[in-house]
C-alpha cells in the first residue's frame, strides 16, 4: 500500500513538473518594440478600413497617418522586393503591402550606406515581408516603420529597431484585428 501511494505521488509530481514546463516555456506573442535612442514609441493611428482603388486613383479621403497604416489601397499587391531608386511605392501601394501582412520602411534623405543597410536587412532577414521605399512626405534623415495600424518613427537608421518592429508587426493584416 505504501509503495502504491509513493508511486501515485511521484506520478503526480511528474505531471505537475511537465505542466509547469509546458506553461512556462510557452512563447507569448511577439514583444512590442520599445523606444530607442533614435526611435520613438510605437503609435497606433486610427485604423481606416476602405476598399481598393482602381489604377492610380487618389484616395477619396486623407489617410489617418503619414505614412499610412491602413485605408484605401491599390488593387493587386505590389512586390515587396526592393524598389528601383526612381520608383518608390505610392501610399496606396504601401497600404497594399500592409494589407497583405507586410511591413513598409519609409525613408527620406538617407546616405547611400543607410539605404543599403535597410535594403540588406529586408532582403536577408525578411524576404517578401518587408518593403523599403523612399517617401518624400518625411523630414530629411527620418525612417518610419509601418505595419497594419502601427507606426514607429526614427531619427536615422536603427537596424535593431527596424528588426524589432518587423518581428512584432510582419504578418499582421486586417483579418487579424
In a domain, 115, yes or no: yes
In a domain, 47, yes or no: yes
- Between 54 and 58, the higher pLDDT residue: 58
Please state which of the ranges 5-14, 19-28, 45-54, 75-84 shows the lowest mean pLDDT. 19-28
CA gap 16, 34 in Å, rounded:
35
Q: What mean pLDDT comes out for the span 27-44?
A: 74
- Between 87 and 132, the higher pLDDT residue: 132
Give the contacts of 83 (CB within 8 A, at least 6 positions apart): 89, 131, 132, 133, 134
- Three-class SS string for 53-77? ECCCCCCCCCCCCCCCCCCCEECCC
Query: According to the model, what pLDDT value does residue 174 have?
Result: 66
Which residue range is the domain that position 48 belongs to? 30-176
Query: According to the model, what pLDDT value does residue 48 have?
Result: 87
pLDDT confidence tier of residue 34, bands split at 50, 70 and 90: confident
Question: Is the backbone of residue 130 left (phi > 0), alpha (psi -120 to 50) or beta?
Answer: beta
Domain count, the chain: 1
In a domain, 104, yes or no: yes
In a domain, 2, yes or no: no
Whether this prediction's pTM lies above 0.85 is answered by no
The tens digit of pLDDT for each residue in 157-170 reads 999 999 999 999 99
In a domain, 6, yes or no: no
Question: Is the backbone of residue 87 left (phi > 0), alpha (psi -120 to 50) or beta?
Answer: beta
The tens digit of pLDDT for each residue in 88-121 reads 998 988 988 888 899 999 999 999 999 999 999 9
Query: According to the model, what pLDDT value does residue 100 have?
Result: 86
In a domain, 94, yes or no: yes
Chain centre distance of CA 11: 45
In a domain, 20, yes or no: no
Amino acid at each position: 500500500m505504501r509503495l502504491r501511494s509513493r508511486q501515485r505521488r511521484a506520478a503526480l509530481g511528474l505531471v505537475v513538473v511537465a505542466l509547469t514546463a509546458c506553461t512556462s516555456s510557452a512563447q507569448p506573442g511577439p514583444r512590442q518594440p520599445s523606444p530607442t535612442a533614435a526611435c520613438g514609441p510605437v503609435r497606433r493611428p486610427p485604423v481606416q478600413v476602405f476598399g481598393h482603388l482602381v489604377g492610380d486613383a487618389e484616395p477619396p479621403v486623407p489617410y489617418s497617418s503619414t505614412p499610412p497604416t491602413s485605408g484605401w489601397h491599390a488593387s493587386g499587391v505590389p512586390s515587396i522586393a526592393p524598389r528601383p531608386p526612381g520608383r518608390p511605392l505610392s501610399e496606396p501601394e504601401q497600404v497594399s503591402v500592409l494589407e497583405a501582412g507586410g511591413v513598409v520602411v519609409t525613408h527620406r534623405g538617407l546616405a547611400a550606406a543607410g539605404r543599403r543597410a535597410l535594403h540588406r536587412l529586408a532582403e536577408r532577414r525578411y524576404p517578401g515581408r518587408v518593403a523599403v521605399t523612399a517617401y518624400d512626405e518625411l523630414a530629411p534623415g527620418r525612417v518610419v516603420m509601418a505595419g497594419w495600424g502601427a507606426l514607429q518613427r526614427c531619427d536615422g537608421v536603427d537596424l535593431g529597431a527596424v528588426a524589432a518592429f518587423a518581428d512584432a508587426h510582419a504578418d499582421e493584416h486586417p483579418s487579424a484585428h
